[in-house]
Structure 1
Amino acid sequence: MKEGKIRFLSEMQKQVNEMERLLDRIADGDDASLPAQLYRYAHTLKGSAPIFGFASVGAVAARIADQWEWALEEEQNKASVCFVRKSVPGTKADLMQLKMEWNILQRELLTVEQNGQGDWQPAAALSGTLLVVDDDAALRSFLVRRLELDGYSVHEADSVDSAKLKLRERTYDLILLDLMMFPLSGYELFDELKEDPTLKWVPLIVLSARSDVRDKVRCLMLGANDYVTKPFEYDELAARIYSLLSRTRNFEQLAFRDPLTGVFNRRYFDHQLELELQRLARDPAPISIAFIDIDRFKRVNDTYGHAIGDLVLQGLAHLMQQHLRPTDFLARFGGEEFVAVMPNTTGEQAVSRMESVLQLARQQPIAEFEGQSFSITFSCGVAEWVPSLPMKQWVVLADEAMYRAKEQGRDQVVLAGYPEEAAQRISTEAGAGLKRVLIADDDSILRSMLASRLKKLPLQVAEAADGEEAFRYLSGNEVDLCILDGVMPKLDGFGLLERMKSDAEGRFRNTRILMLSGKKREEDIAKALRLGASDYMSKPFSLIELEMRVTRLLETER
């Protein structure tokens, strides 16, 4: 059977090449007998492919045969020009798919044969989870199957909307994005990737049939890491993926990984937790953290030495990584302490998950050395985030719950308990004394950038997408500073200033205004200041300078 498959694939390659040649001649109107020849090639392939287990080839060949069956009926030959026009475009696409199928099957056969000999090594590839976004089903299927043969875990999406859904469900190491899709183009996904701080660092390769340099420049400026023009050689694409993943992981190892255990470090934890809270501000959902401390770890070091202690740390890190979800992340907080962040998880769910890990730690050795096994338990504190709870206080709550687990006898998981009224008090205290800033701008990307920057300061930050929305917010809330775009729909910044100035009740007398505008004329600046603006910045501007002006206007210490 193996010899038969090898011979079939060799003949299939010749047949597909011949069908391509015939199709070109048919399109040129060379010979009225050519359509029947093309049909016979497709019909032969349709019948023989399933015999060798190549059902996908047989299905494509059957489509081609169906499109050219009219050529066998002599009376239809008179109308062959009409039939040719209908049949040629679809057949071109089917022949392209047959060539991709041949590529896949040849690789699969080689893999099976050489794996059996024990000396085959896969082409250069890294493990990782990739997302292929393309509305071309044939190309998408080819890429998924081919990348899986190279050792990657591959998910697929046929539209921008389905890609957005998958990006919310799990974490990907790299995205392959088709630029020209229907009904939404790949450009629509750029906004999602740029606005979400947890996605903007995911490597992105754009695949496009457009070779216009303007498209390439636009994609690279929007954040793409590479741009590959269709049609492409798979080996070249595979090399680009490998190179990009290698560079990304080398950087990650240096910047964000604990060298001993391989899990994330404290620096990454602080950064990522802040990003998670920014995302929750836009899309509320439960999230919990678990603070883990190995029980009596000092005794392990004192009795067996630090080398064994290192093995224990590595073993626990490995155990937890195996039993956390892809969307969770684990960091070494310091010494024998770890912290796990679990998005979309309530406190009770996090307790259940960590108790399962603790049970596994009790049941099996965490490390072995020269025939000796080492077992441990750990104490764990879990805290669920509540709105407006500062990040540092959230971590402290989990840490305190962990210490209660120690005091209660170790080897257990404790949930940080604060009743509803206490949670409300935390929320109120967190917001008390903080000055409130409103960002009013119809540019969603700029608005998100400003909000992200200002949330690093001790401020409460709100957003409005147009002048009318901004006026409603200002009318119903005490706002210390409004960062106001000069040009917006419904009501522009100058119109909003006029409305605020004419307010008879004096509701806005304590609100300072920082005007942002692309207008740089002196009369525009003078008009803004005359209408009550406290400061004026022309676009484009430096984010650092903006932060300094906000600080000065609010007299807020960094």
Structure 2
Amino acid sequence: MNTKTILIVDDTVANLDILAELLAEYDLIDTTSGVDALEIVNEEKVDLILLDIMMPEIGGFKVCERLKSNPYTKNIPVIFLTAKTDEESIEKAYEIGGSDYITKPFKPKELLARVKMQLDLQSLIQNLEYMSSYDSMTNIYNRRKFFELAEYRFINARDDLFAVMIDIDTFKNINDTYGHDTGDEVIKTITKIIQEMLPPKSIFGRLGGEEFAIVCNHKNQTELLSFIESIRKKINEISLDFNNKTIHFTISIGVAKYQEEFMMIDDLLKEADKLLYQAKETGRNKTIFRK
């Protein structure tokens, strides 16, 4: 059983020490800084956050608001642990997405029970989130989750942003000739190859059928295109042995780079899709890129 990880954020070191002893059964990360807390959740898997409200640099409310605006961290439960007992603070804590509100001085058994309750609830939510976010065949992002994360990337890190659209060539013929089980194996095989070769921090999803998409940032355009071409060549070189049959398959790829006239992620993806269509119309098994 995996031990849950709790991030404790409090600018008083004595409070961190008390909580560390009380919550020793969990994996703990602590910090006295709200700024550091936001960096930690981007680097570490955190299951729950205990968050003070009154801190220097950035207060607990602002930390919570930023967590809830980020699709990667919005589902982490936040328990406010604070000396503030006024109704206005309590109301605001829940309005901005807090899961619970515990006032200091706290009762140890009560805090443990409420932490456990939030972690149990989080496990249920994570299971539901997985089912609603991942493609059941390939275990990569489904269309809904891909677009959610891609839009967030577009809004927050659009410089050097690329969209890659990928389609399996003559996939209908594979299904018609060898059967849908074979077609499914082709999809899984291609997915695995792409996953193993993806640039770091790429967003990779199956948009439906035999169509996939990647959104990633890369400062070296030539290097990225070489990377994408290596994926195409790798798939072109392999074959799938399934039910005593050897199946060869290829992919076509369209690659587009962010331009100032693109107002949303859809614009970038549509440009990549146009280039994908050109690749398929001009012979398939190729990559087409336009700046």
TM-score range, shorter chain: 0.7 to 0.9
1:306 aligns with 2:184: no
1:201 aligns with 2:201: no
Separation (CA, whole Å) in 2 of partners of 1:375 and 1:228: 60
1:278 aligns with 2:155: yes
The change in CA–CA distance for 1:396 and 1:211 in structure 2 (over 3 A counts) is closer
Shift of 1:244: 1.3
User: Aligned-residue CA RMSD in angstroms?
Assistant: 4.0
Aligned 1:492-511 pairs, distance under 5 A: none
Separation (CA, whole Å) in 2 of partners of 1:132 and 1:203: 10
Separation (CA, whole Å) in 2 of partners of 1:374 and 1:234: 56
Q: Which residue of 2 aligns with 1:379?
A: 252
Q: Which residue of 2 aligns with 1:316?
A: 190
Residue 400 (structure 1) aligned to one of 268, 274, 285: 274
Separation (CA, whole Å) in 2 of partners of 1:353 and 1:139: 50
User: Is the Cα–Cα contact under 8 Å of residues 228 and 237 in structure 1 kept in the other structure?
Assistant: no
Separation (CA, whole Å) in 1 of partners of 2:77 and 2:140: 24
| RCO higher in structure (CA 8 A, sep ≥6) | 2
Residue 266 (structure 1) aligned to one of 140, 143, 147: 143
Aligned partner letter, 1:384: K
Residue 413 (structure 1) aligned to one of 277, 287, 291: 287
Residue 7 (structure 2) aligned to one of 132, 144, 165: 132
1:188 aligns with 2:57: no
Residue 333 (structure 1) aligned to one of 207, 211, 214: 207
Separation (CA, whole Å) in 1 of partners of 2:43 and 2:250: 30
Q: Which residue of 2 aligns with 1:446?
A: none
Shift of 1:332: 1.9
Shift of 1:247: 1.6
Q: Secondary structure at the match of 2:63?
A: helix
Aligned partner letter, 2:155: Q
| Count of paired positions | 280
Aligned partner letter, 1:132: L
User: Is the Cα–Cα contact under 8 Å of residues 350 and 382 in structure 1 kept in the other structure?
Assistant: no
Separation (CA, whole Å) in 2 of partners of 1:388 and 1:286: 14
The change in CA–CA distance for 1:220 and 1:307 in structure 2 (over 3 A counts) is same
Unaligned runs of 5+ in 1: 1-121, 149-153, 418-558
User: Is the Cα–Cα contact under 8 Å of residues 154 and 161 in structure 2 kept in the other structure?
Assistant: no
Shift of 1:291: 0.2
Q: Secondary structure at the match of 1:277?
A: helix
The change in CA–CA distance for 1:240 and 1:198 in structure 2 (over 3 A counts) is closer
User: Is the Cα–Cα contact under 8 Å of residues 159 and 181 in structure 1 kept in the other structure?
Assistant: no
Q: Secondary structure at the match of 2:214?
A: strand
Q: Deviations over 1:498-550 (max 9, x none)?
A: xxxxxxxxxxxxxxxxxxxxxxxxxxxxxxxxxxxxxxxxxxxxxxxxxxxxx
Aligned partner letter, 2:51: D
Q: Secondary structure at the match of 1:132?
A: strand
Unaligned runs of 5+ in 2: none
User: Is the Cα–Cα contact under 8 Å of residues 80 and 101 in structure 2 kept in the other structure?
Assistant: yes
User: Is the Cα–Cα contact under 8 Å of residues 232 and 251 in structure 2 kept in the other structure?
Assistant: yes
Aligned 1:39-118 pairs, distance under 5 A: none
Q: Deviations over 1:108-140 (max 9, x none)?
A: xxxxxxxxxxxxxx26x78xxx67252556578
The change in CA–CA distance for 1:221 and 1:390 in structure 2 (over 3 A counts) is closer
User: Is the Cα–Cα contact under 8 Å of residues 320 and 357 in structure 1 kept in the other structure?
Assistant: yes
Percent sequence identity over aligned pairs: 23
Q: Deviations over 1:482-511 (max 9, x none)?
A: xxxxxxxxxxxxxxxxxxxxxxxxxxxxxx
- Indicate the structure with greater strand content: 2
Separation (CA, whole Å) in 2 of partners of 1:221 and 1:163: 21
Separation (CA, whole Å) in 1 of partners of 2:246 and 2:83: 60
More deviation in 396-405 or 171-180?
171-180
Separation (CA, whole Å) in 2 of partners of 1:243 and 1:204: 9
Q: Deviations over 1:20-59 (max 9, x none)?
A: xxxxxxxxxxxxxxxxxxxxxxxxxxxxxxxxxxxxxxxx
Shift of 1:290: 0.7
Residue 49 (structure 2) aligned to one of 176, 181, 187: 176
User: Is the Cα–Cα contact under 8 Å of residues 80 and 102 in structure 2 kept in the other structure?
Assistant: yes
Residue 244 (structure 1) aligned to one of 119, 122, 127: 122
Q: Which residue of 2 aligns with 1:164?
A: 38
More deviation in 138-147 or 304-313?
138-147
Shift of 1:197: 5.2
- Indicate the structure with greater helix content: 1
Shift of 1:234: 5.6
Q: Secondary structure at the match of 2:137?
A: coil
The change in CA–CA distance for 1:393 and 1:139 in structure 2 (over 3 A counts) is same
The change in CA–CA distance for 1:240 and 1:370 in structure 2 (over 3 A counts) is farther
The change in CA–CA distance for 1:349 and 1:226 in structure 2 (over 3 A counts) is farther
Q: Which residue of 2 aligns with 1:253?
A: 131
Shift of 1:308: 1.5
The change in CA–CA distance for 1:182 and 1:267 in structure 2 (over 3 A counts) is closer
